[in-house]
Structure 1
Amino acid sequence: MKCPICGGFDKDDYFKCPECGRDYICGSHYDTDELVCIECAKKSESEMQEKREKGKTSVGETPVKDEGGEKEKKSPFYLKSIVCPMCGMIANNRVFKTKICSERKVDIDKHVLVYGWTNLDFKEYHPPLYLFWHCSNCKYTAEKVDFESAGKDSWSNFRLLKRAYSEKLQDDRMAEKLVIWLSKGIDYDQLNYPMAFKLHILGIYIQEILEQENRDTLKLGRYYLRTGWLLRELKEKNSEELDIINNIINELKKVWKDIPANEEEYMKKAVEYLNEAYLKHPAVKNVAALIDMILWLSGIYLKMEDQKKALSYLNKVIQECQKQRAKIENRLKGADISDDEVRHLSLQSKKISITLTKARDLIQDVKSQKFEAQKEEARKLANKLSNRPPEEIREILAKKGYSQGVIDSLLPEKKKKLFGLFR
């Protein structure tokens, strides 16, 4: 058992290189950033450098210039040239200029309903369409952060994804055709909903190449949710582009049998992944992230009209907030606490109180909606039974499972007079 590079052996510090397959590589000859032996790391860097030089495009940011005759049309974007982390070629993508737009109104599932623009000339642009960056060479499609900081997080699965994606396209002809087909016709100068939908689907497909246990559940949950939002927006607009997307889905079903077909199915897929992320994802470990995730899931369930699960998660939010607030209050009573820690904990306590109020308000809203919905159902049934005595109708409604409050609101119980007096 010797290190194949230096011939030494350290029983407490040795590794196996996943790239070349060699075992017993000592710690001093293992690249802990790249998670391969130093020889494979150097080889990989050399190959990436060659590809960069072939790209013949400088890396950096330049304003996007839309040709418009003598006078150039203003653009809200910068064109960013960056080395694709998947293939090493230069990928040119767009990024909105700093502070050019902001979220003005957000739905309970975090779907942005209204954007505000510092320049109203740009209000025709819809930011969610530009979520995904795309490499025209290898077709890798992901969010901006996954191009700029691929593999930086300790829990990142990018190295596994990079290998799996390359092998999939080499070994699976159908997968290669699917990736090329989804990439066809993508034009960021004329980006529309069908193009954005294809980019979302391509992003999902690439992430799901990995086996279930290696997938980034938080990322995939967000991707599915955002895809559902696109379909929701088109449905609300009654847009003809929804028909184009439905045709795309029908084509995809020929090779991707279980691809979701509508907003509801994308939402269901999203909560599957997000529930798994809530339980296991490393990014959802600190208290603030945990509470935010629970509140987010409750909002998604409300949009899905699953009030039972929404209430369950909202109650979890309240329990977690109360638990954390109690911890803060106990710490604030400590004799060894510093002024800085007092300020920090006081701020945390205020944020928790805001979240607690929001959760309680949502619970009240849900209960009110549930009451009104039940009341309407009960009213319809009571109208059908209008030829029967009120007491009999009350009994029937109770057997059907309607709450006492609903029954009393429709058919108030006749008050009994004391000792039968004053008849």
Structure 2
Amino acid sequence: MEQKKTPFMTVTVTCPICMSQFQSYKIKGGLYAVLDKESDQRPKSFKWTDPEFSQLNPLHYAMWRCTTCFYTDFSENFERRTDSKMLALKKTYKPGEAVKMPFMSEILRYTDLSIPSFETAVNLYLTSAYINEMPVRVEDKSYFKLARIYLRIAWLYREKYGSVDSASESVKLKQIFKNLDEIDANYSKLEASVTKLLANIKNRLTELYGGEAPMNNPYYANIATFLSSMKNITAGIGRVKTTAVLDQQGKLLGDKGGSENKPYYNFPSYVDFLMSLMSNWPDLPLSEKAALSLAVKNYTLSYTNEDFFDTPEKRLNAVDLIEDLYVRLDDYDSALNYITEIYRSGTKDRQGLYNKMNSKKADGTYPTQAEKDRMESQIARINSTLSKTSDKKKDLEEKRIAAALPKITAIIGQNPQITEAELIVRIGEIGVSESVYGDLKEKNLIPVLSGPDTDIKDNGAAEKEEHSIV
């Protein structure tokens, strides 16, 4: 009897955390090649050696989960030698304790590995992200891995729900997300203050009662009500976030019968399931933009704190990706600031090499010709990187202006009598800086408005000088 073809191969894996062995599977090598990628490296199309397997999504099979301790990671990390980051994680991730955590117990309960799907894939990536967020110390955290995880979550959301065009997204909706971010930041401060409050209450009760305080004391009675209210606030914020994400995806008033709105286990939809998890992990990314934001945050931290980008080529590729992610988030200012900092850092490294070439070494001798040649080679690579970075800055400035122009003209079109001062306030609310407005005004791309002259041109020129990297 002819054996059925399969794209998978079964492998025996040793978990780097608990050292137990389990069987998993992965797509056989050489079955497909990536034909095309988006600017943030998401594969757009594949070429399969066997068309029968063309419906498979390799992103759905990139994660493995240990059947004993439930540690979840990229498949290649199960097969690599244990490094210092993994050793640190091994001390932090205690399987017996981790599975009792509300987030872990919930996501494990509702993840069926026998059904490869969008939902299963996202659950595995989220599980891995949650585990890899556990280390606290900078030297223990694997920022590069976290960035890769969050970026792939963003890709999966984009494939499932489509990409949100920042230019066409409602200004009011952007303000809602901005307000939610502000609430999150303030709530984190509130939580920190509450933790201190509880500690001080406990100390005061010890002082009052000279030992263990009775459970019916007034402090405990009133703080219990307060803590319950805080929990309700967290759940309420989560529900508003979910609603905003559905709005962003165009599904708030749309067809309710789509596949994304089908029940997921005992939840009305998969999005409702994710929302339920947020009470135990408030930073869980609910949308493509939320995942991209976490990805770029961790890539920048990796660039600063880790040695993954140890060659000029890798560093330039990292800058390319970080820049692209900022642009996708419609955050041109951060992209420009980042590229400016990279240019300054490169200039400093180059000057350091020049100084080293002409200074005595620790033993009192000058560098040999061979050492000077190596430094000259490094300087040449830095010069090449600086040149490309300068070009990137110019390109970004043009993109920033192009992205801002339709937003500003739309505001003017809706408010023909708006004054310049009022316009500046309005564009600031949607993240457009005065310097960009000054550039557009200088190029005569927007009409002259009424109201007092705000000297925008000079402000813009000053900011340009501050950002200059050439």
Change (3 A) 1:206 1:171: closer
Task: Report the structure, 1 or 2, having the larger helix content.
Answer: 2
Question: Does structure 2 conserve the Cα–Cα contact (< 8 Å) formed by 1:193 and 1:230?
Answer: yes
- Is residue 248 of structure 1 aligned with residue 180 of structure 2? no
Cα separation, 2, equivalents of 1:181 and 1:127: 24
Structure 1 SS opposite 2:60: helix
Structure 2 SS opposite 1:297: helix
Cα separation, 2, equivalents of 1:372 and 1:129: 39
- Identify the residue that residue 141 of structure 1 maps to in structure 2: 72
- Is residue 367 of structure 1 aligned with residue 400 of structure 2? yes
The 5 A counterparts of 1:72-151 are: 72-75=4-7, 77-151=8-82
- Identify the residue that residue 185 of structure 1 maps to in structure 2: 112
- Identify the residue that residue 409 of structure 1 maps to in structure 2: 445
Change (3 A) 1:70 1:160: same
Question: Does structure 2 conserve the Cα–Cα contact (< 8 Å) formed by 1:132 and 1:199?
Answer: yes
- Per-residue CA deviation, residues 257-314 of structure 1 (Å, 9 max, x unaligned), is 4423222222222333333222212334554443333332211111111111122223
> TM-score, with normalisation over the residues of structure 1?
0.63
Cα separation, 2, equivalents of 1:210 and 1:344: 38
- Per-residue CA deviation, residues 329-359 of structure 1 (Å, 9 max, x unaligned), is 9999x99469x97998799579748954872
RMSD of aligned residue pairs (Cα, Å): 4.2
Q: Report deviation, 1:194.
A: 0.2
User: Larger relative contact order (C-alpha < 8 A, sep ≥ 6)?
Assistant: 2
Change (3 A) 1:258 1:325: closer
Q: Report deviation, 1:143.
A: 0.9
Using the TM superposition, name which of 312-321 and 288-297 deviates more.
312-321
Cα separation, 1, equivalents of 2:445 and 2:27: 53
Cα separation, 1, equivalents of 2:279 and 2:19: 32
- Identify the residue that residue 151 of structure 2 maps to in structure 1: 225
Q: Report deviation, 1:113.
A: 2.7
Cα separation, 2, equivalents of 1:361 and 1:101: 37
What one-letter code is carried by the residue in structure 1 that aligns with 2:329? M
Question: Does structure 1 conserve the Cα–Cα contact (< 8 Å) formed by 2:336 and 2:393?
Answer: no
Identity percentage over the alignment? 18
> TM-score, with normalisation over the residues of structure 2?
0.58
- Identify the residue that residue 202 of structure 1 maps to in structure 2: 127
Question: Does structure 2 conserve the Cα–Cα contact (< 8 Å) formed by 1:291 and 1:320?
Answer: no
Cα separation, 1, equivalents of 2:68 and 2:421: 70
Cα separation, 2, equivalents of 1:177 and 1:371: 45
- Is residue 277 of structure 1 aligned with residue 302 of structure 2? yes
- Is residue 260 of structure 1 aligned with residue 293 of structure 2? no
Structure 1 SS opposite 2:41: coil
Q: Report deviation, 1:94.
A: 2.8
Question: Does structure 1 conserve the Cα–Cα contact (< 8 Å) formed by 2:103 and 2:281?
Answer: no
- Per-residue CA deviation, residues 44-81 of structure 1 (Å, 9 max, x unaligned), is xxxxxxxxxxxxxxxxxxxxxxxxx8452342x32222
Question: Does structure 2 conserve the Cα–Cα contact (< 8 Å) formed by 1:321 and 1:356?
Answer: no
- Is residue 298 of structure 1 aligned with residue 314 of structure 2? no
Structure 1 SS opposite 2:135: coil
Question: Does structure 2 conserve the Cα–Cα contact (< 8 Å) formed by 1:81 and 1:91?
Answer: yes
Q: Report deviation, 1:200.
A: 0.6
Change (3 A) 1:311 1:176: closer
Q: Report deviation, 1:108.
A: 2.9
- Identify the residue that residue 416 of structure 2 maps to in structure 1: 384
Structure 1 SS opposite 2:47: strand
Cα separation, 2, equivalents of 1:162 and 1:316: 35
Question: Does structure 2 conserve the Cα–Cα contact (< 8 Å) formed by 1:169 and 1:175?
Answer: no
Cα separation, 2, equivalents of 1:398 and 1:283: 42
Change (3 A) 1:170 1:111: closer
Larger radius of gyration: 1
Cα separation, 2, equivalents of 1:257 and 1:176: 14
What one-letter code is carried by the residue in structure 2 that aligns with 1:159? L
What one-letter code is carried by the residue in structure 2 that aligns with 1:298? E
What one-letter code is carried by the residue in structure 1 that aligns with 2:90? K
- Identify the residue that residue 161 of structure 1 maps to in structure 2: 89
Q: Report deviation, 1:322.
A: 6.8
Change (3 A) 1:127 1:293: same
Gaps of 5+ in 1: 1-68, 387-392, 414-423
Cα separation, 2, equivalents of 1:205 and 1:398: 41
Q: Report deviation, 1:148.
A: 0.8
- Identify the residue that residue 16 of structure 1 maps to in structure 2: none
